[in-house]
Amino acid sequence: MLDGMIKRIGLSPKLMLGYAGVLVFMMGEGLEQGWLSPYLINKGLTIQEAALLFSVYGLFAAISAWFSGVLAEIFGARRTMLTGFILFIIGSVFFLSFGLPSNNLSIMIPTYALRGLGYPLFAYGFLVWVAYEAPPKKLGSAVGIFWFVYSGGLSVLGVLYSSIVLPYLGEIHTLWSALAFVAIGAMIALLLNRGESHAGKDSHQEKTSIKYVLKGITIAFENPKIGLGGIVRTINTSAAYGFVVFMPMYMMEIGFTRANWLQMYAALWTMNIIFNLIFGIISDRLGWRNVVMWFGCAGCAITTLMFYYIPHFLGPNYLLTVISAGLFGICLAAFVPLSAIMPSLAPENKGAAMSVLNLGAGLSTFVGPAVVGLFIGSLGSGGVIWIYTGLYLFAGALMKFITLPKALPETTKIVYTTAENNVRPRVNNNEGGLIVNQQSEH
């Protein structure tokens, strides 16, 4: 099905193995999402300590996510993804062998943080590959497919797998089994797919390593719209990552079971992955910025409140709570066009622009749990929910300023110059090439 969709919307079939590899890899990354926090709290950690663990993990993931774009430009997507795989394996082994058994934060935090360096390099390194490989007019659809497989592995298939095997393997052995998924995913994306990775080092490239790494920071100030886009991406999934810290306990206090919570969480991300594809495609028609601003920012502000207050006022009403979770997942998907907006704002520095986007994605894994750790003691779970709601409204206001450039003149064409492990665009007014019809959303 996915292969046929890729061909119908005009993407290279070579991307298929990369998408499949990311899907399986992210199953290993995400299989503990729905239950690790309550498991650690039952072992003796407080909510604030669990939030600290996840916040530091998210901070390291954010650093890795930021590096992923520029490293993919400098060394190639394949090498960047391989580095992410190796770091994930090393971090997992140390966390499971020494950190988790100790139940000591001073050991758990650094080992879990090391694990957090891995998946952004793998997944977001491939996203840079997609940004170069996909035709500009189909970029919204291409990144929609990426987020479909990313979220599908991370928050649906991984969680579903855990819900099935936890009663038989237990928590520790379930975490160990994650290594099998990331190894298989890496093999599919890197070993079976022997074609070129379309972002990376070019012998004719005028980007030195240090200079281009710094470009991943300076571009946010040189082009303020990219900086604003990074802030919006940080807010995007912050609530979703914060939910896993305190919502399981909140739902169980109301009267739901752990199985009910995992089903709600699976419903949230099942709807998300479906609408990652839908919003990716329709955003090419409705306008990328419009979809993010209205369906994403405004929609998440409303559905965040629904997800919390429906069970708060109606008690353990399973059906309505699952529906509200699904609606929140749908609205999260409406941020997908950001992955098309960011490289379009800097067509000659896509890797640097994607680094800012990836940094925002990583920071959301830090900000979400950090909000819980900082405010749940003083404001309670309801106060945390209102903070997330305010952040989404703030993101909607920022989107008003993230306007895309007008369509390029008809004589301006993008010529893709191919070298080993690299395809990079250059603007040329004389040679034939692919005419870019970019959106204008003023």
Per-residue pLDDT of the chain (442 residues; tens, 9 = 90+): 555 555 565 566 667 788 889 999 999 998 887 788 888 988 888 888 988 998 899 889 888 887 877 788 778 888 899 999 999 999 999 999 999 998 889 999 999 999 989 998 999 888 888 877 777 777 777 777 887 888 888 878 888 888 888 889 988 999 999 999 999 999 988 876 655 544 444 433 444 556 666 777 788 888 899 999 999 999 999 999 899 889 998 999 999 988 888 889 888 988 988 898 888 788 878 888 999 999 999 999 999 999 999 999 999 999 999 999 999 999 999 998 888 898 888 887 777 787 788 788 888 988 999 999 899 999 999 999 999 999 999 999 999 999 887 653 333 333 333 333 333 333 333 333 332 333 434 3
In angstroms, the CA 434 to CA 425 distance is 10
Residue 47: in which H helix or E strand, if any? helix 47-75
CA of residue 363 relative to chain centroid, distance: 10
In angstroms, the CA 277 to CA 5 distance is 10
Both tokens of 414, joined, read 């993008």
SS3 (DSSP) at 334:
coil
Q: Which residues are paired to 71 by β-bridges?
A: none
pLDDT of residue 146: 87
Instruction: Give the residue extent of every domain in the chain.
Output: 16-192, 212-404
CB atoms near residue 345 (< 10 Å): 21
pLDDT of residue 2: 52
What is the rounded end-to-end Cα distance, in angstroms, of the chain? 36
Both tokens of 337, joined, read 């066009």
Amino acid identity of residue 407, one-letter, is: A
Among 116, 141, 161, 129, CA closest to 24: 161
Whether 416 and 433 have beta carbons less than 8 Å apart is answered as yes
* 413-419 and 422-428 strand pairing: antiparallel
Whether 369 and 245 have beta carbons less than 8 Å apart is answered as yes
Question: In the block, which residue shows the tokens 């998946």?
Answer: 119
Torsion of CA 290, 293, 296, 301, to 10 degrees: -150
C-alpha distances (whole Å) from 14 to each of 6, 181, 350 are 10, 21, 20
In angstroms, the CA 309 to CA 332 distance is 18
Do domains 16-192 and 212-404 share one topology? The answer is yes
Phi, psi of 411 (to 5 degrees): -80, -10
In this prediction the pTM is 0.72
In angstroms, the CA 365 to CA 127 distance is 18
pLDDT of residue 417: 32
- CATH class of domain segment(s) 16-192: mainly alpha
- Name the CATH code of domain 212-404 (choices 1.50.10.10, 1.10.3720.10, 1.20.1250.20, 3.40.630.30): 1.20.1250.20
Q: Which residues contact 285 (CB under 8 A, 6 or more apart)?
A: none
Does the CA dihedral 411-412-417-423 come out positive or negative? negative
Q: Which residues contact 310 (CB under 8 A, 6 or more apart)?
A: 317, 320, 321, 324
